[in-house]
Amino acid sequence: MPKRTDIHTILLIGSGPIVIGQACEFDYSGTQAVKTLKSLGYRVILINSNPATIMTDPDFADKTYIEPITEEIIANIIAKEKIDAILPTMGGQTALNVAMSMYEKGMLEGITFLGANPSAIKKGEDRQAFKEAMLKIGMDLPKSRYAYTEEEALEAAKEIGFPLIIRASYTLAGGGSGVAYNIDEFKAVAKNGLETSPISEILIEESLLGWKEYEMEVIRDKNDNCIIVCSIENLDPMGVHTGDSITIAPALTLTDKEYQRMRDASFKILREIGVDTGGSNVQFAINPQNGRMTVIEMNPRVSRSSALASKATGYPIAKVATMLAVGFSLDEIKNDITGTPASFEPSIDYIVTKIPRFTFEKFPKADSTLTTGMKSIGEVMAIGGTFKESLQKALCSLETGVYGFNPICDDIEIIKKEIRRPNANRLLYVAEGLRQGLSIDEIHELCKIDKWFLHQISEIIEAESHITTQILNDSALMRRIKSYGFSDKMIAFLLKRNDKLDVSEFQVYQARKELGIIPRYNEVDTCAAEFPSLTPYLYSTIGNFETIGETISQSNTTNTRIADSNNIESKTALQKVMIIGGGPNRIGQGIEFDYCCVHSSFALRDLGVQSIMYNCNPETVSTDYDTSDVLYFEPIDFERVRSVIERENPDGIIVHFGGQTPLKLAHSLQSINAKIIGTSVKAIDIAEDREKFAAFVSELGLNQPKNGIAYKKEEAFSVANGIGFPVLVRPSYVLGGRAMRIVFNDEELKTYMDEVIAVSDSSPVLIDKFLEYAIELDVDCISDGKSVYIGGIMEHIEEAGIHSGDSASSLPTINISESMLKEIERTTAQIALKLEVVGLMNVQYAIYNKELYLIEVNPRASRTAPFVSKATGIPLAKVATRVMWHHNLKNIDSIKTENPHAQKGVDSSILCEALHFYDKYDRIDFSANVLKPKPLHYVCLKESVFPFNKLTGAELSLGPEMKSTGEVMGIGKSFGLSFAKSQLASKNAIPSQGEIFLSLANFDKKEGVALARKFVELGFSICATEGTYRALRENNIESSQILKVSEGRPNIIDKMANGQIALAINTSDHHSNKGDTHLIRTQIIKNSIPYFTTLSAARVAIEAIKEIQNSNINEAYALQEYLRS
């Protein structure tokens, strides 16, 4: 049947900011959905609060609302845009929850649900309804009971018996869930689950710890056609959230009979739940002792696993699900990769491994044990011909300093303990246990990982002993070792360990190449090469050799020939540019850099240049099959990048958009004469190396904080004492403020220098005077080597000392004079031209005692580039890419300059200079000496989102090391309104009335008293701890005194738990995580109380409250409306 014609305007709800459990995968699915709906002729309206997403580009949807995802704002958009239908299945739990809440309140009368109807969503998401549905169709479930109060929970616990799993309904990434081994743990987890569930419902079920866990990605259409897109096996047994588990596709340890049972059960479940126009994820557990299979849960929407399955198979689940949602059936949809019908189940002839990426180094006090609540920030995916190859490639993709099964510990008791405890490094401890002589049975008993996987790892570890000098001259041995996934770097390490042979990674590469051992590149094509593929989506593999020393069997030889025939040649008449992506999401390097990589690929397409995307992150838009002309899914290490460069011989390589990951390869790539375009490696080095940068700033005669350089701990003490405390300690070549610290004395310096020197990796450490209470600014600009465009100047809300990625920032600036802005523009242009930047550059400044100080220069894309692009309407990464491909920023004397890379037969529009080409909304002031946007008639506010609610025990204080996972954007016609919207979008909604808890550090009391007076004038009451209360009383400000935790009961914790605090303002000194402060902030997070930890943010909150009290915060305007204003 054709598409539905009874609907015309469709609202798509996005997932909001990147948080643990809800990341780039929903930008990927949402972008596919928007593109698909537009291609089918529908009018598409989008709401999403995350400016770093591709889906919120104004070029995609007809109207793009970068607004808080709330019921009131969505209702206003529905009325304003005359919405016919809503698609809530592409925006994760955020979209489903808000849509269901609105439906149940009667706010969606006359609106059609697409993708899944409300009944199906309720059955799939509500634990009680799901249980009843499963029992109705005869599915086996864990023994369980539901509870809505703590008393009911205790009754259930007594009935079922320990250990117990507690799961909360309608939550994200295992929120509110946990494992309880005793009654005290149970009470705590159950209470948290009831508070976390929006419907106060928890499921208490028997423990399945140690059972094997599987997932099925299923699609069903209105004609009851069902397919399994992919089976996924969790390497970690039940008890670890699937988002934190290593997963493998296809499932490897299922018997055919078990697989068919699971497949049939999946179809039955979708039919009963009522999903008939889209995709779902169904999770099962199997008892390895007796084969009992139980259903765990299902997601009636596109999920994190859907993105993985799409990338693993090449089957575009989100696109297909969108087409099903508007009336198509599976047999009417074509697979873009093969041209075959979407009703064909994908078939794959390779192994995919996903490993989650954690950032516990940012939160050293957080509990790093993995359990049913998700804790990972990102993930990597690797593809190989065998499990061994795939697994070791995935380890190399993590960017955690490992290049295979690196040694981690030699203490057998610690090894056993860490094998038993689920943690981010458990596989490394398993490998170490095997080296130390633990048997597979012993390791299995400790961790319950299936023995098949343990045998595979055991064979890898056993193969290590065969890596001797012989390998450098033995092609058969080299091929077999490489087929196990060993990196050249690991081979070099093992040669030194085994034979005391000091060879470099480069020497191993040379020997391997002389032996003719190079990877071949196969396609991900959904059909195991059964049909010709139309889009090059490639991975490397060496071969399939199962046992070291074993003669290759005839069957393996045959397989090798087949695979060789599938080795894809790289041929094109077009010039081509390779973009190196950012790898896994982690704090400090996330979706913002993927956004820039995607925009770069789009810009190359505009130029008629073939784009080659290189990345290993399955969540992202950059690794979608149609984002670039060619996609390589490979670890971002020198060995694999070099191999692709040798194969493709690109005319240009871009290392400036993927964050620190590709930048760290720049020197190595230059050493092999790779054609890096844009800003030179020399300029990157000047900016990244702290010593060279300090000299560069001095040469320009610019102000910089008093500083010195240290390579060793001893030098650091001398430098710091010469400058005077407090000092800021900053390593070289890091992102996200990794290991940066504000240090107040020698004792703290001693503690931090070991970590700082380890992270800096022999590069210099800069120690500079910390400018207390300075105003910080961020500037994003583009230079073509002759002219400079100032993309945007952002003022940080928080004072100096808090990482720019964690600080709220405003565009335009609010408190900076016109003369200072002009100085910033001149200085930025001076730096860009002196460094000979070609492309993007980010500069960080501080204003201290009315003087401008240069803090840092990054000649690359910054995490603020998407925010500035959305705020101004000028896509910075696209403009920068055009500049890097030998275009000027602006037309010179209205004559288009000759482009040396222009292709014959290509539309002449590609010759248009960069800013003119992308100035769609006429936003640029070309008359100024330094190019810049025209003044904005609105204010944009970027706010950060933190993972404190997911990481138990984490320090809740902010500093120079970044801790946020994502961001939101508030847009309004005034500063106060945009700040209010940014807080609402980040789930820190500022109240308009109520009681404020105030607890101030001594040095904040003077200004804090003045702010308290304003809060009282706005109608708030105040309670305060003793010191703050006394300061308020001395200044005749009415307040009540509240006890600290250590002072008795009832105290501030009790008052917060009872819901009596509307807003908390809690500032502290640099020992902020000690004693009462930590307990208070933990309770703030637990009870979701709006809070601020700096007076600068509290000061801005006053402006926001005035707007909330006097204007309609729920009024919504599309981004396109703002850009045209």
Torsion sign over Cα 38, 43, 49, 52: positive
Q: Answer yes or no: is 1007 a known binding residue.
A: no
Cβ neighbours for 12, distance < 8 A, ≥ 6 positions apart: 30, 33, 34, 37, 44, 45, 46, 47, 55, 61, 86, 87, 90, 91
Q: Answer yes or no: is 297 a known binding residue.
A: yes
Phi-psi region of 78 (alpha: psi -120 to 50; beta: other; left: phi over 0): alpha
How much is the CA Rg of the chain, to the nearest whole Å?
A: 29
1044: which DSSP letter? Answer: -
Token code pair at residue 491:
């081979």
Nearest Cα residue to 999 out of 932, 920, 1061: 1061
Strand partners, 202: 147, 168
Measured in whole angstroms, the distance separating CA 521 from the mean position of its chain's CA atoms is 28
Q: Answer yes or no: is 769 a known binding residue.
A: yes
Backbone φ and ψ for 305, nearest 5 degrees, come out as -70, -30
Q: Answer yes or no: is 299 a known binding residue.
A: yes
Q: Answer yes or no: is 730 a known binding residue.
A: yes
Q: Answer yes or no: is 97 a known binding residue.
A: no
Q: Answer yes or no: is 22 a known binding residue.
A: no
Q: Answer yes or no: is 241 a known binding residue.
A: yes
CA gap 98, 94 in Å, rounded:
6
Give the helix ranges, DSSP H, for 886-1003. Answer: 914-918, 975-985
Torsion sign over Cα 245, 247, 253, 254: positive
Task: State the DSSP string of 734-784.
Answer: -STTTT-EEE-SHHHHHHHHHHHHHHHTTS-EEEEE--TTPEEEEEEEEE-
Q: Answer yes or no: is 796 a known binding residue.
A: no
Work out the burial of residue 1063: count CB atoms within 10 Å of its CB; fewer than 13 is exposed, 13-18 middle, 19 or more buried. buried
Torsion sign over Cα 946, 952, 958, 963: negative
Q: Answer yes or no: is 803 a known binding residue.
A: yes
Q: Answer yes or no: is 1048 a known binding residue.
A: no
> Helix (H, G, I), strand (E, B), or coil: what is residue 298?
strand
Q: Answer yes or no: is 330 a known binding residue.
A: no
Q: Answer yes or no: is 384 a known binding residue.
A: no
Q: Answer yes or no: is 239 a known binding residue.
A: yes
Total Cβ atoms within 10 A of residue 930: 18
Task: State the DSSP string of 91-136.
Answer: SHHHHHHHHHHHHHTTTTTTPEE-SS-HHHHHHHH-HHHHHHHHHH
Strand partners, 716: none
Give the amino acid at 1051. Answer: N
Q: Answer yes or no: is 844 a known binding residue.
A: yes
Task: State the DSSP string of 465-494.
Answer: TT-SGGGGT-HHHHHHHHHTT--HHHHHHH
Q: Answer yes or no: is 213 a known binding residue.
A: yes
Strand partners, 520: 541
CB-based contact 51:867 (threshold 8 Å): yes
My answer on whether omega of the bond before 991 falls inside 30° of 0, hence cis, is no
Q: Answer yes or no: is 283 a known binding residue.
A: yes
Cβ neighbours for 282, distance < 8 A, ≥ 6 positions apart: 215, 216, 218, 265, 266, 269, 270, 295, 297, 298
Give the amino acid at 406. Answer: N
Q: Answer yes or no: is 856 a known binding residue.
A: yes
Q: Answer yes or no: is 534 a known binding residue.
A: no
Q: Answer yes or no: is 858 a known binding residue.
A: yes
Cβ neighbours for 815, distance < 8 A, ≥ 6 positions apart: 775, 795
CB-based contact 421:403 (threshold 8 Å): no
Task: State the DSSP string of 429-461.
Answer: HHHHHHHTT--HHHHHHHH---HHHHHHHHHHH
Q: Rounded to 5, what percent of the chain is helix, strand, coil?
A: 40, 20, 45
| C-alpha separations of 1055 from 91, 107, 1022, 1078, 1087 in Å | 35, 34, 13, 16, 11
Q: Answer yes or no: is 167 a known binding residue.
A: yes
Residues making up the annotated binding site are 127, 167, 174, 206, 208, 213, 239-241, 283, 297, 299, 730, 769, 771, 776, 801-804, 844, 856, 858
Residues making up the annotated binding site for Mn(2+) are 283, 297, 299, 844, 856, 858
Residues making up the annotated binding site for Mg(2+) are 283, 297, 299, 844, 856, 858
